[in-house]
């Protein structure tokens, strides 16, 4: 089986060695704050920027929509700018959207690939805009000079659970000395939610083994766990789902659990970084001669840590179903309706959302699994 995400394993809970792994950026920084959801960091950032109701935020039209909902819930006005074929901001378009109420430029680094930060930083400086650098999809990545993504903007946002197998968690980094670290009180999430998410991550790893272990894990994931959740909800035990596309203002004060924070200390990030790069480059090399496939990022920059490999293809749903039958898990970037509503005035972005398939390249996958996935994709198209 080719799983979509890396699994949580028993060895991840072992105590760190006498010489634990070096912590990567931003875990080695001081002005950081941990959250249950990365979107909570967006909410806190709006506070420290001291933005007023009606102020405008320039945002990319290619977005999950969650960021937009946070901005709107804070009383601000999102104004969308177009993106180019390489997913970089169309700064000429963005410039035409600036008014006297424009205060903030929201930048997203997509799938681990760096945006042109020198150009964007200069744009923000010229127009007196604060820069929000969203690296939620780009944990462990750096730009061409080796500077970590998320370290250039006034603040940086990270979601390490998209790269490392932790139950939940987001991080806000304050880079600018103009702004203090938020001090509003945060609350621990329900233990039930943390343990439930950790159990699901563990069972996903067991599924990947196949055989009896895989069947038993699949049964637990799809039959037993939903029933347990339903029963516990009747007992008024709240489960806070992760990965939902909905912003809930009442959850903004939830912090990252001690389980997730402890796990973040236990991964070999250098090995993880190298394995993701190796898998990405192998997959791209195997896909390049397959007809009717367009690879969004055919070249891997030297310091990028790819989250996934995004391709475009006709008859996407049919191809994904064929891969699923062969136990190859795939996904789509931002499959819910909200992103399409935002992208409505931008046909090229709508096309991205309609035709993309996200292929896994995470650190748990071996070379033969990458080969299996590429061959299955070739057969699904032919």
pLDDT in tens, 96-129: 999 999 999 999 999 999 999 999 999 999 999 9
Beta strand pairing status for 102-108 and 56-60?
parallel
Q: Residue 351 has what pLDDT? A: 95
Specify burial of residue 103 (Cβ count, 10 A radius: 0-12, 13-18, 19+): middle
Using one digit for the tens of pLDDT, what is the confidence trace for 44-91? 999 999 999 999 999 999 999 999 999 999 999 999 999 999 999 999
> Is the predicted pLDDT of residue 338 greater than 60, yes or no?
yes
Q: Say what percent of the chain tops pLDDT 70.
A: 90
- Write down the pTM of the prediction: 0.92
Q: Residue 94 has what pLDDT? A: 98
Which residue from 161, 137, 165 is spatially nearest to 149, judged by alpha carbons?
137
Beta strand pairing status for 77-81 and 56-60?
parallel
Give the per-residue SS3 of 92-137.
Answer: HHHHHCCCCCEEEEEEECCCCCCCCHHHHHHHHHHCCCEEEEEECC
Over range 284-288, report the average pLDDT: 97
Q: Residue 214 has what pLDDT? A: 56
Q: Residue 200 has what pLDDT? A: 78
CB of 357 closer than 8 Å to CB of 292: no
Q: Say what percent of the chain tops pLDDT 90.
A: 77
| Model confidence band, residue 212 (pLDDT cutoffs 50, 70, 90) | very low
Using one digit for the tens of pLDDT, what is the confidence trace for 137-182? 999 999 999 999 999 999 999 999 999 999 999 999 999 999 988 8
> Is the predicted pLDDT of residue 202 greater than 80, yes or no?
no
Cα separation of 201 and 205, whole Å?
A: 7
Q: Residue 198 has what pLDDT? A: 83
Q: Residue 250 has what pLDDT? A: 93
CB of 103 closer than 8 Å to CB of 132: no
Over range 193-203, report the average pLDDT: 80
Which residue from 61, 64, 2 is spatially nearest to 247, judged by alpha carbons?
64
Half-sphere exposure of 158 (CA within 13 A, CB side): 28
Q: Residue 336: which H helix or E strand, with range?
A: none
Which residue from 167, 133, 148, 132 is spatially nearest to 34, judged by alpha carbons?
167
> Is the predicted pLDDT of residue 195 greater than 90, yes or no?
no
Over range 209-221, report the average pLDDT: 54
Residue position matching structure tokens 């993106």: 83
> Is the predicted pLDDT of residue 226 greater than 70, yes or no?
no
């Amino acid at each position: 089986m080719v799983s979509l995400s890396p699994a949580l394993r028993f060895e991840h809970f072992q105590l760190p060695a006498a010489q634990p792994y070096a912590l990567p950026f931003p875990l080695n920084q001081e002005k950081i704050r941990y959250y249950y959801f990365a979107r909570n960091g967006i909410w806190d950032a709006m506070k420290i920027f001291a933005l007023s109701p009606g102020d405008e935020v320039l945002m990319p039209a290619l977005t999950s929509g969650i960021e937009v909902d946070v901005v709107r819930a804070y009383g601000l006005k999102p104004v969308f700018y177009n993106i180019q074929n390489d997913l970089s901001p169309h700064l000429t378009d963005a410039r035409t959207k600036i008014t006297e109420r424009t205060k903030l430029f929201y930048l997203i680094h997509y799938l681990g690939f760096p945006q042109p930060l020198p150009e964007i930083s200069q744009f923000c400086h010229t127009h007196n805009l604060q820069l929000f650098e969203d690296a939620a999809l780009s944990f462990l990545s750096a730009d061409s000079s080796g500077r970590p993504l998320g370290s250039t903007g006034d603040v940086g946002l990270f979601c390490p659970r998209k790269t490392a197998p932790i139950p939940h968690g987001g991080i806000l980094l304050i880079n600018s000395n103009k702004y203090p670290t938020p001090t509003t009180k945060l609350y621990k999430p329900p233990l039930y939610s943390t343990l439930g998410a950790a159990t699901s991550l563990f069972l996903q790893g067991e599924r990947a083994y196949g055989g009896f272990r895989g069947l038993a894990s699949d049964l637990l994931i799809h039959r037993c766990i939903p029933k347990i959740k339903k029963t516990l909800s009747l007992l008024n035990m709240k489960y806070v789902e992760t990965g939902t596309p909905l912003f809930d203002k009442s959850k903004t004060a939830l912090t990252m659990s001690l389980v997730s924070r402890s796990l973040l200390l236990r991964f070999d990030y250098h090995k993880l970084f190298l394995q993701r790069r190796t898998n990405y480059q192998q997959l791209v090399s195997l896909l390049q001669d397959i007809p009717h496939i367009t690879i969004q990022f055919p070249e891997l920059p030297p310091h990028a840590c790819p989250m996934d490999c995004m391709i475009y293809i006709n008859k996407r749903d049919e191809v994904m179903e064929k891969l699923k039958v062969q136990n190859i898990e795939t996904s789509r970037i931002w499959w819910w309706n909200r992103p399409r509503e935002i992208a409505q005035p931008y046909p090229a972005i709508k096309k991205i959302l309609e035709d993309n398939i996200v292929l896994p390249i995470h650190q748990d996958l071996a070379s033969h699994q990458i080969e299996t996935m590429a061959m299955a994709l070739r057969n699904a198209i032919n």
